[in-house]
Structure 1
């Protein structure tokens, strides 16, 4: 059962991320998670179809009276559209002006922000292959790699854990040469979680 219309506006309190040029993946993840929790995401992905608008009777056929299902569906959809708009930056709002439904607004935003241009994809791939840890902590370095991975994923380019590990190893400074040698010589793959743990351990030893 879907959440009552009166309750939808209360969801804004948990939707803390406003969509802008650089955070579509995070914004989408939060929005989708919250709406799926309350069985409302179907208005965005198109699986919830608008019911018949007018009442049909045997004596009159199609009347001008609106069906209760239609009234309720429209109330829910307009409330979700308002909720969606409230999570947008001033720039992002420009792409939903004129949209009549939550689905239309969602498609417009996805087309604008999830469809990364070829030039942007090539830039992200270059960043992946040339990234260096520098003065960042291991945690921050891996988060930078994850950010690149997420953006490529949103554009339809999937990266494996091995791709991320190789990129990370190439970007580590000389202090990590020993662990780099050990990991490269491994005959079995290493999980990303274990890889992170080993780098954090080396970082701790270096600091001490």
Structure 2
């Protein structure tokens, strides 16, 4: 007795060739290879709006890679021929079409209503992906330029060190989403460049190190340096206050002596008359 073929454990993994005449593994039931479309919203928590394309795209790319489906939208997997040489329907095309329509429904489910209306009429997952990429390309480029500008003009100001570092991390995360990662060396320079003059000595000690410092290590050192600077500032304030207190009695004595001398002078003048 023959054994039925084992269904693939990964969705869509049976479509391994764009050869229009390839017919292997097509006896597998489609119900055994479909992704869990019913709980797709657990994976797609962010719907595409007019302002969040970069993070939406990052979310979709992770999902598509996880299910080995990226080739459907990036053009690596080409649609098979619809019919065979004898004019009959190509079963490979039928399987490809079903899987592509499932993927298309994933994309649709991740769009807000205003975006959804813009892709009505597009019939493949790749056509929707290409349209969205084209529609948001200029916006994405503008966002990248703004993020880069924010990084170049990054300043700590009156922010707590933890807040400042979180702001820097947020910018680099968004650039990472836009496929514009910032190296650790560059990020260290951006962070140091945004510090006030009280951190100048610390910045110098970091830049003259023999070995480069990671951003993670820099974060820890900066938090400690902030405590040191705050302690030094507190000591200076206390010293200034103590100096003011020690000088005040001396000033009072001088004023009293001047008043007594002035009073004595006026007394002699009266007796003289």
Provide TM-score, normalisation by structure 1. Answer: 0.77
1:31 corresponds to 2:31: no
Q: 1:198 to 1:25 in 2, by over 3 A?
A: farther
Aligned alpha-carbon RMSD (Å): 3.0
1:62 corresponds to 2:104: no
Q: 1:52 to 1:203 in 2, by over 3 A?
A: farther
Give, in angstroms, the shift of residue 78 of structure 1.
Answer: 1.1
**Greater strand proportion:** 1
Structure 1, unaligned stretches of length 5 or more?
none
Classify the secondary structure of the residue corresponding to 2:87: strand
Give, in angstroms, the shift of residue 92 of structure 1.
Answer: 3.4
Superposition pairs of residues 30-109 of structure 1, within 5 angstroms? 30-56=59-85, 61-63=86-88, 66-109=89-132
Structure-2 separation of matches of 1:119 and 1:12: 29
Q: Which moved more, 1:176-185 or 1:104-113?
A: 176-185
Give, in angstroms, the shift of residue 143 of structure 1.
Answer: 2.2
8 Å CA contact 1:95–1:109 kept in 2: the answer is no
Structure-1 separation of matches of 2:60 and 2:140: 24
Structure-1 separation of matches of 2:210 and 2:150: 28
Classify the secondary structure of the residue corresponding to 1:99: coil
Answer 1 or 2: higher relative contact order, Cα 8 Å, separation at least 6. Answer: 1
User: Which position in structure 2 is the counterpart of 1:10?
Assistant: 39
1:57-81 deviation per Cα after TM superposition (whole angstroms, max 9, x unaligned): xxxx223xx3322222111111111
User: Which position in structure 1 is the counterpart of 2:175?
Assistant: 149
1:202 corresponds to 2:225: yes
Q: What count of residue pairs does the alignment treat as equivalent? A: 199
8 Å CA contact 1:44–1:102 kept in 2: the answer is yes
Structure 2, unaligned stretches of length 5 or more?
1-7, 12-32, 232-273
Structure with larger Rg = 2
User: Which position in structure 1 is the counterpart of 2:150?
Assistant: 127
> 1:111 aligned to 118, 134, 137, which one?
134
